[in-house]
Amino acid sequence: MKNTKIRIGLVLVFLITLCSCTNENVDHVQVQLLKKIVEVSVDGTSKTTILTYNGNKIVSINEFSTLSEFFYTGDLITKIIVLDKINQSQNTLHYFYTKEQLTRITSSDNYVINYVHNNDGSVSFEKLTKDSQNNDVRVYNGTLYFKNGNLVKNEKFLEDAGSGVLSKKSISLEYDYKNNALNNILGFNKLLNYSKIISSNNSINSTEVSEIKHTNTDQVISAINIYRSKVEYDAMGYPTEIVSENHIFGGNDSKHLKSLLFYN
Instruction: Kindly report, residue by residue over 82-97, the tens digit of the pLDDT.
Output: 999 999 999 999 999 9
Class of domain 31-263: mainly beta
- Is the distance from CB of 231 to CB of 176 less than 8 angstroms? yes
What's the pLDDT score for residue 134?
Answer: 85
pLDDT given at position 18:
43
User: Does position 68 have pLDDT exceeding 90, yes or no?
Assistant: yes
The closest of 60, 8, 14, 4 to 35, measured between CA atoms, is 60
CA distance 260 to 241: 5
Neighbours of 82 (CB within 10 A): 18
Is the pLDDT at 155 greater than 60, yes or no?
yes
Contacts of 156 (CB under 8 A, 6+ apart): 140, 141, 142, 168, 169, 170
Strand runs labelled E in 131-229? 136-147, 150-160, 165-175, 203-214, 219-228
Q: Is the pLDDT of residue 160 over 50?
A: yes
Does residue 24 surpass a pLDDT of 80?
Answer: no
CA 146 → CA 120, 124, 150, 153, 154, distances in Å?
9, 12, 5, 7, 9
| pLDDT exceeds 70 at position 244 | yes
Quote the pLDDT of residue 27: 41
pLDDT digits 0-9 by tens, 187-227: 999 999 999 999 999 999 999 999 998 877 778 899 999 99
pLDDT of residue 221: 92
- Note whether 55 and 73 are within 8 A (CB): no
Assessment of whether the complete model's pTM goes beyond 0.75: yes
CA dihedral 252, 253, 254, 255 (to 10 degrees): -140
Q: Is the pLDDT of residue 108 over 50?
A: yes
Q: What pLDDT does 174 receive? A: 98
User: What residues contact residue 50 under an 8 Å CB cut-off, 6+ apart?
Assistant: 35, 36, 60, 61, 62
Bridging pattern class, strands 230-233 and 219-228: unpaired
Q: What is the mean pLDDT of residues 122-150?
A: 94
pLDDT at 28 over 90: no
pLDDT of residue 216: 78
